[in-house]
Amino acid sequence: MKVPFVDLRIQYESIKEEVDVSLKKVMENTDFILGEEVQLLEKEYARFCEAECAVGVDSGISALELTLRALGIGEGDEVITAPNSFIATASAISFAGAVPVFVDIEPEYFNIDPGKIEAAITPKTKAIMPVHLYGQPADMDAINEIARKHGLKVIEDACQAHGARYKRRRVGALGDAGCFSFYPGKNLGAYGDGGMMVANDKAVVEKVKMLRNYGQKQKYNHIFLAFNRRLDTMQAAILRIKLRHLDEWNRKRRANAALYDRLLKDSNVRTPAVAGYAEHVYHLYVIITENRDKLLEYLNAKSVFAGLHYPIPIHLQPAYSSLGYKKGDYPVTEEYSGKILSLPMFPELTEEQIHFACELIKEN
Ligand SMILES: *Cc1c(COP(=O)(O)O)cnc(C)c1O
Instruction: Give tens-digit pLDDT for 149-178.
Output: 999 999 999 999 999 999 999 999 999 999
How many CB atoms neighbour CB 290 within 10 A? 12
Atom of ligand 1 nearest to the CA of 186: 1
Computed over every residue of the chain, the mean pLDDT equals 98
Give residue 291 CA to ligand 1 midpoint distance, Å: 28
How many CB atoms neighbour CB 192 within 10 A? 14
Instruction: Give tens-digit pLDDT for 44-93.
Output: 999 999 999 999 999 999 999 999 999 999 999 999 999 999 999 999 99
List pocket residues of ligand 1, CB cut-off 6 Å: 59-61, 85-86, 88-89, 131, 157, 159-160, 181, 183, 193, 195
Give residue 83 CA to ligand 1 midpoint distance, Å: 14
Q: DSSP strand E in 172-312: where?
A: 177-181, 195-199, 216-218, 221-222, 278-279, 285-288
Residue 323's pLDDT band, with cuts at 50, 70 and 90, is very high
Instruction: Give tens-digit pLDDT for 115-132.
Output: 999 999 999 999 999 999
Residue nearest to atom 5 of ligand 1 (CA): 60
Instruction: Give tens-digit pLDDT for 283-320.
Output: 999 999 999 999 999 999 999 999 999 999 999 999 99
Residue 40's pLDDT band, with cuts at 50, 70 and 90, is very high
pTM of the model: 0.98
Residue 364's pLDDT band, with cuts at 50, 70 and 90, is confident
* Residue closest to 200 by CA, chosen among 50, 70, 66: 50
Give residue 282 CA to ligand 1 midpoint distance, Å: 15
Atom of ligand 1 nearest to the CA of 183: 7
% of the chain with per-residue pLDDT over 90 = 99
Q: What is the pLDDT of residue 348?
A: 98
Sort 276 into a burial class: Cβ within 10 Å, 0-12 / 13-18 / 19+: exposed
Residue nearest to atom 6 of ligand 1 (CA): 60
